Amino acid sequence: MTDGRSFKEVVGFRHLEELVDKVNTLSFRVKAADCLDLPEQIFQTIKIEMSKEQRAHYTELKSDLMTMKASGEMLTVQHKVALYTRFRQITGGFLANEKIEGDNPKMLALLDLIEDSSEQAIIFASYVEEIKLIYETLKKDFPCSIYYGDISQDDREEQETLFKTGKT
């Protein structure tokens, strides 16, 4: 029972092949490598110290987590994911979609990295606020595009064209 509603527990599956056949008529899978002409990915680990302000938020959240664990409070998977997300947001320079004051060491390191290259780059980020911050940081010194879920289709096509023609 949850909020006055009851749900049956799934204990097994039947007719999976039939379900797969029906879903396959409505979907297909394509690998990025088969349909996109992108340069080889470069993976590089760069260690960056958090700012004083980020460290304060990070330490506070870590302390809250330790208090929960010490009290024996049971952490659900959802709770753990939410905490992990908050830690990642802090290291990205945000807390509850608000920018953490002070310089963002990740953005400074990104600027250094971009300045050292003469090639185009695609930068991926997990959060819209971080994507916007990257764009605002880079557009001061570099022609760049921004592309994420809330961008209109027309703007997406324009950003793609600018990138494909080497203008961003």
pLDDT for 128-158, tens place per residue?
A: 989 999 999 999 999 999 999 899 999 999 9
2 pLDDT higher than 70:
no
Report d(CA 22, CA 154) in Å as an integer: 33
Q: Angle at the Cα of 149 (from 148 to 152), degrees rounded to 5? A: 90
Cβ count within 10 A of residue 24: 10
> What pLDDT sits at residue 3?
64
Nearest-Å Rg of the Cα atoms of the chain is 22
> What pLDDT sits at residue 97?
75
* Confidence (pTM): 0.68
- Cβ 114 vs Cβ 121: under 8 Å: yes
1 pLDDT higher than 60:
no
